[in-house]
Chain A
Amino acid sequence: MWRNVTESRPLPVVDYLKIPEKGEPYLEGYRCKKCGAIFLGERNVCSKCFARNEMEVIKLSDYGKLHSFAIVYRSFPGIDVPYVSAIVDLEGGGTIKGNLINIDPDPDKIKFDMPVKLTYGDALGRKDKEGNSYLSYFFEPA
């Protein structure tokens, strides 16, 4: 199994995060060729216009704008708080959710529509039962 022989290679935290053999990680979207709706994760049918087998695979942008957020002070046990949970609209389409980092978790410092950039890094040290490391994405002010 390649997982065992290449232990240093992290796994993607979600299936729409792609880690090429060469080059930088990126997020993958599925775009409906009929109506332009963009989805995360593989699918064949568009839930907006109902077209079948019209999906094309696209690379999502690493840049976007902050649509909305919340500052989380109470989470499930063992999760470090506070942190900023953010909804980001990507340039060229697609919306994703993630942690906004490298900013004070202060509502006065976080501005709606502020430009943000995706950054990729280790999934806060979290490992699965087999001890595999994961690569995640985060947002930071651009």
Chain B
Amino acid sequence: MSDVYVVGVDMIKFGRFPERSVPNIGAEAALMALDDAGLSIKDMQAMYCGNLGQANAMVGQRILQEIGQTGMPVVNVANACATGATAFREAWMSIKAGMYDVVLAVGVEQMGKGLLGGAGNSDGIPKEGLLGSGTMPCVFAEAGMEHAKEHGTTFEQFAKISVKNHHHSTMNPKAMYQIETPLDDVMNAEMISYPNTKLMCSVNVDGSAAAILVSEKKAKELGMARAVKVRASAMASDPYTDRDLVMPDVNACTRLAAKDAYEQAGVGPEDINLVELHDCFATAEMLHYENLGLCKDGDAGKMIDEGHVELGGRVPVNVSGGLLSKGHPLGATGIANIYEICTHLRGEAGKRQVEGAKIGMTHVIGLGTACGIHILEKNS
């Protein structure tokens, strides 16, 4: 099977664009990625498009109606917050399978403001606030409190994650916000679901990101100077765990996917130079230091206390600002974090550059549950 390379990748600056259509937002990133690769839409042999909000409305084809209807096969995918990573992975698989040499993957989302979560109104009466809460800040607060129970993790430690990611975003012009949020501000912000305050919840934004994936043969033809190798593409669903059907388990499926990814890549957590992981809430990021093997179980609090996950630390996490400050356009997130890693591996990340980065990892979780992990390597 051919190795697969990313030769073009980009994202738009995340923001709020209520006046634009979903395909229009997606088309912008697709064109940027094509330009980054120095390729035309005519060169693409297939397209995989990730979007959740209009999952039944042929977003991929509508993007091509804006930028070039070549007749190529288009597949639209939806997989909760792992949607973008799923589109990227399907593109990767199609090249691995030997079907194509040049494939376009796009992720796009247009979000409203406000709380995400299952209202549970299917029949009878609303269950929200009656049988607990299905809002996302609460669900991830419960997951974080499980960590607090096992390891004594504190509200302040969770809050520090948000301080870190907001700080990182001040160096990322494509992030929704570039604002420092000191610890007091984070801890004293409006409490949404304890222990997640408003500044510990990801930002609902509109956004898009796109990547051009190619076979090794095509990469050599195009020139390898800025090519990034996909060393692993792993995906898992939630295996049965005792509480999973009541309390979504983001840990077990991350651990499954991480194990697969490390095996595919033939590397270990100690080889990873930077990570973009799914900080949909500050409580979630804490869990994934351990789930991804970046530290031993129980040491996640130390990772943030001792600065290991900051820019300049042992393994910087979410130097883009993460979902907490860069923003979280659900269908775009999984490709936007691939853009971030590729930008560092190419040495083009400016002030937030992780010096000497050779191998990076992306991770997303879609509740329900889907976990997508990619390991990317600088071409040497």
Contacts and interface: CB of A to CB of B under 8 A. Distances in A.
A57 B245 CA distance: 18
Given A68-B145, A70-B142, A39 B131 contact: no
A72 B245 contact: no
Contacts of B155: 107
Interface in B1-21: none
B192 A74 contact: yes
Given A67-B146, A70-B193, A76 B119 contact: yes
Interface string B136-157: 0110011101101100000100
Contacts of A39: 245
> What range describes how many residues of A lie at the interface?
35 or more
Contacts of B246: 40, 87, 95-97
B195 interface: yes
A72 B130 contact: no
A89 B115 CA distance: 27
Given A74-B190, A74-B193, A128-B124, A97 B132 contact: yes
Nearest to B124: A128
A73 B141 CA distance: 12
B140 to A, nearest CB: 8
Among the interface residues B117, B119, B132, B240, which one has the most CB atoms of the partner chain A within 10 A?
A: B132
Contacts of A68: 142-143, 145-146, 149, 247
B308 interface: no
Given A70-B142, A75-B133, A79-B126, 15 more contacts: A40-B245, A68-B146, A68-B247, A72-B194, A74-B193, A76-B126, A76-B128, A83-B129, A83-B133, A87-B142, A97-B246, A98-B131, A99-B131, A112-B148, A134-B125
The 4 lowest CB-CB distance pairs between A and B, nearest first, are: A70-B141, A85-B132, A79-B129, A71-B194
Interface of A: 11, 13-14, 37, 39-40, 47-48, 67-76, 79-81, 83, 85-87, 89, 95-99, 107, 112-113, 123-124, 126-128, 134, 136-137
